[in-house]
Chains A and B, each alone.
Chain A
Amino acid sequence: MAEKGVKVFGMWASPMAIRVEWALRLKGVDYEYIDEDLANKSDALLRYNPVTKKVPVLVHDGKPIAESTVIVEYVDEAWKDGYPIMPADPYERAQARFWARFAEDKCNAALYPVFTTTGDTQSEVVREAQRCLKTLETALEGKKFFGGDAVGYLDLVVGWYAHWLPVVEEASGATVVTDEELPLLKAWFDRFLAIDVVRATLPDRDRLLALNKARREQLLAA
Chain B
Amino acid sequence: MAGGDELKLLGTWASPFALRVKLALGFKGLSYEDVEEDLKNKSDLLLSSNPVHKKVPVLIHNGKPVCESQIIVQYIDEAFAGTGPALLPSDPYERAIARFWAAYVDDKLLASWLQSFRGKTEEEKAEGLKQTLMAVENMEAAFKECSKGKPFFGGDSVGYLDVTLGALVSWMHAGEELYGFRLFDEARSPCLNAWVERFGALDVAKAVLPDAGKLVEYAKMRQAEAAAAAASNN
Binding site for B on A (CB under 8 A): 51, 60, 63, 65-67, 70-71, 73-74, 77-78, 90-91, 93-94, 97-98, 101-102, 135
Docked complex Cα distance between A98 and B51 (Å): 13
CB distance from A46 to the nearest CB of B (A): 14
Docked complex Cα distance between A91 and B64 (Å): 8
Contacts of A70 in B (CB 8 A): 96, 99-100, 103
* Interface residues on chain B, number (Cβ under 8 Å): 22
The listed residue (B72, B99, B103, B104) touching A94 by CB distance below 8 A is B72
Contacts of B104 in A (CB 8 A): 51
Contacts of B74 in A (CB 8 A): 93-94, 97
CB distance from B222 to the nearest CB of A (A): 24
Mostly helix, strand, loop or mixed at chain B's interface? helix
Contacts of A60 in B (CB 8 A): 93
Contacts of A65 in B (CB 8 A): 93, 96-97, 100
B95 near A74 (CB under 8 angstroms)?
yes
Mostly helix, strand, loop or mixed at chain A's interface? helix
Contact with A along B74-104 (1 / 0, CB 8 A): 1100110000000000001101110110011
The listed residue (A63, A94, A97, A102) touching B52 by CB distance below 8 A is A102
Contacts of B79 in A (CB 8 A): 90-91
The listed residue (B67, B99, B100, B103) touching A98 by CB distance below 8 A is B67
Contacts of B176 in A (CB 8 A): none
Docked complex Cα distance between A130 and B78 (Å): 34
Interface: B7 (CB within 8 A): no
Docked complex Cα distance between A43 and B40 (Å): 51
Contacts of B95 in A (CB 8 A): 73-74, 77
